[in-house]
Amino acid sequence: MGKTILLAGFGTARWTDYAPAAGALEGELAAAFPGWSVQRTFASCRLAAALTQQGHPTPHLPAALEALAAAGGALAVLPTYLAAGGEYAALVAQLAALRPRLPRLAVARPLLFSEEDCIQVARALAGGISLEEDEGLVLMAHGSRAAGMAPYRPLAAALPARVALGAMVSGGPEAAGQQLLRAGYRRCALAPLLVCAGGHVRREMAGPGPDSWLSRLREMGLTVRPLCQGLAELPALRALYCRHLENALASAGLDSV
C-alpha cells in the first residue's frame, strides 16, 4: 500500500503562477518525506481543470479524496489555507466522511493555527521579505467574509510595527496604510499573504485600476513597491509547512519516511 501526501488548496489558474511557489513546496515535501508520493488537488473545480488543461494533472478535491480512499494506504493531507476558515472546515468535513475508509490518515493544521504558529510565520516573513531601510510592508491577505480579520489578529500582533496587514474581503488596504503612516513610513513594499500570487491576486494587488491596492495606497500618499511573490516562494515558509506535516504524521502515529 502506498503513502501519499495530498497538498490541498483553493487553486491557481496558471502553472507559471503555481510552480515558483506551491510547486516549490511540492518539491521540498518530496525531498523531506522520501517514502511518500506528493499529489496536488484544488478545491476549485474550474482551477483544477485549468491546470490539467495546461498539462499538469490536478484533480478536483472530492475526486482526489475518493480515489485515495478507494486505493487504501496512508494519507497525509497538508492544506495550504493559512487560517482555519471556511475552506479548511469544508476540507475537514469531507475527510470526516471518508475517515472510516482512511484508517491511516493525518491532517496538518493551517499555518496560522495557534499563537506560536503566528509567531513563527512572522519571523519567517521578517527574514524572507527584504525591505529597504526606510520602507514599511503591507501584506494583502484573503480574509474571511464570516470572520473578518479575526483569524489574522494573532499574526498582526506578532508582526513589527513596520509591517501592516489587510485583507481583500475584509476592509482593504486603508487601515494598513494608516498604520504605516502613523509609524512614520512614506514608502512601502506590497506583497500577498497567500501561498501563490495568481492572476486574480496580481490584479487586485498591483493592477492599474483605481480599485487595486497599489492605487489605493498611492492615493493615501505612500510610495509603493509591489512584490508579486507567493508565500511558498520563501524557504522559511516552506520549512514551516514541512514541520506542520511532520507534527501531523507524529500525532497520527505514521512514519515520516
Per-residue pLDDT at 87: 87
Q: How far apart are CA 213 and CA 207, in angstroms?
A: 8
Per-residue pLDDT at 7: 97
Per-residue pLDDT at 1: 66
Per-residue pLDDT at 4: 97
Condensed to tens digits (0 to 9), the pLDDT of residues 39-58 reads 999 999 999 999 999 999 99
The mean pLDDT of 81-92, rounded to a whole number, is: 89
Condensed to tens digits (0 to 9), the pLDDT of residues 190-208 reads 999 999 988 888 899 999 9
Q: Please write down the HEC assignment for all residues of the chain.
A: CCEEEEEEECCCCCHHHHHHHHHHHHHHHHHHCCCCEEEEEECCHHHHHHHHHCCCCCCEHHHHHHHHHHHCCEEEEEECCCCCCHHHHHHHHHHHHHHHHCCCEEECCCCCCCHHHHHHHHHHHHHHCCCCCCEEEEEEECCECCCECHHHHHHHHHCCCCEEEEECCCCECHHHHHHHHHCCCCEEEEEECCCCCCHHHHHHHHCCCCCCHHHHHHHCCCEEEECCCCHHHCHHHHHHHHHHHHHHHHHCCCCCC
Condensed to tens digits (0 to 9), the pLDDT of residues 112-169 reads 999 999 999 999 999 999 999 999 999 999 876 666 677 888 999 999 999 999 988 8
Pairing of strands 223-226, 74-79: unpaired
- Return the amino acid letter for 235: P
Beta bridge mates, 78 = 7
Condensed to tens digits (0 to 9), the pLDDT of residues 222-233 reads 999 999 999 999
Is the per-residue pLDDT at 174 higher than 80? Answer: yes
Q: Which residues contact 231 (CB under 8 A, 6 or more apart)?
A: 21, 82, 192, 193, 194, 195, 237
Per-residue pLDDT at 257: 75
Pairing of strands 223-226, 187-192: parallel
